[in-house]
Amino acid sequence: MRKYYIDNLRWLILLVLIPYHIAQAWNTWNEPNYIFFEGNRLISSIIVFFSPYFMPLLFLLAGIGTRYALKKRTGREYLAERVKRLVIPLLFGTIVLMPVMTYIADLFHNSYSGGFIRHYVVFFTKFTDLIGADGGFSFGQFWFILYLFIISVVSLGIITLFKKLPLKREKPIPFLLVILLGLPLPLLNGLLSIGGKSLAEFTYFFLLGYYVFSDDGIIEKTEKSRWILLAIGLTATILSVYLFIWSDKDYNVLNTIASFVSKWFMVLALIGLAKRYLNFSGKVSGHMSRLSFPFYIWHFIWVVTFQYLLYLLVGNNTLILFVGTLLLSFAATFICSEITVRVPFLCFLTGTKYTKR
């Protein structure tokens, strides 16, 4: 039986990416970005509110999906599907979309005077911090697809190995132990980390999805505890936002603790809430689920494009820049996504399953 709450939670959390990536242009900690205006505490709070948990949640959902996928596919079939769904979109995004975004970044930050075609040479020869804000090479938001492919391959090896071991079926995991599974996160956070994105931590979330949260019994317990989990998660999240953005004192240790509590308990709470309120199917939810991957592919290029164009038109007007970019980016991203799911070649490039209408 299909777990519709997984699909619905995935596309809902992906909608956050547009305001999240728009807000990066106003971050108060001077992180390089394709477009950067000036630090704004209120807008930066959007980033800090969502950043602890929404990417870990996506990797955990991918792990759950893998559990069900491997019930229907062999390991070889699963890898072939991963190449089609992930490697091809990674190449498409890196070769076609990222040069546009880094070209705009070079125009904005460095007043680059060359043409777009000429900048392709810059993109493929300038390797610095891999962020792309200086016009150099970057995977951009497609780091997620790259990580997901690597994690899928590594995890398949781990899963295959464990299946060969003579392990006895264990009793159901007590929910208290599930809560305690969040304790390794601070230790994993710095392992195999590139630009603050830990391959080890995301692999852990993926495997938790496969081994723990694919268990209907665990999901039911998470659903029953959803409001307690949400209360703890939101408290930690709001505290993290206050300590990192609004407090004028250094509470680094306390903020770190709050961030990890937010990460784990918000993931648990959102899984429980999704199971309770999002486990349904319908025309709208089904269509949104189908649009989710193209939405991810297209959203950031429109954010960067509209931020730059609106800046040229209105200057440094924060309200117009934020709201205008938000509305235009959602519209353009949905239009591109709708076109994509109707064109077989675009479905191929974006890793989307084409369904003839």
Q: What is the per-residue DSSP string for 279-339?
A: ----HHHHHHHHHHHHHHHHHHHHHHHHHHHHHHHH-S-HHHHHHHHHHHHHHHHHHHHHH
Residues 242, 244, 245, 246, CA torsion sign? positive
- Crossing angle for the helix pair 116-125 and 98-110, nearest 10 degrees? 100
pLDDT per residue as tens, the chain (357 positions): 678 999 999 999 999 999 999 999 999 999 999 999 999 999 999 999 999 999 999 999 999 999 999 988 898 999 999 999 999 999 999 999 999 999 999 999 999 888 889 999 999 999 888 888 999 999 999 999 999 999 999 999 999 988 877 666 567 788 899 999 999 999 998 888 887 899 999 999 999 999 999 999 999 999 999 999 999 999 999 999 999 999 988 888 999 999 999 999 999 999 999 999 999 999 999 999 999 999 999 999 999 999 999 999 999 999 999 999 999 999 999 999 999 999 999 999 999 987 776
Question: What are the residues whose beta carbons fall under 8 Å from the beta carbon of 301, sequence distance 6 or more?
Answer: 97, 100, 101
Q: What residue spans of the chain are helical by DSSP H?
A: 4-14, 17-23, 41-50, 54-72, 75-82, 88-92, 98-110, 116-125, 143-164, 175-180, 185-188, 199-211, 216-224, 226-241, 252-277, 283-314, 318-340, 344-350
Q: Do the beta carbons of residue 310 and residue 320 sit within 8 Å?
A: yes
Residue 171 carries which DSSP code?
Answer: P
Domain boundaries, the chain: 52-214
Q: Which amino acid is at 291?
A: L
Tokens 């390089």 belong to 32
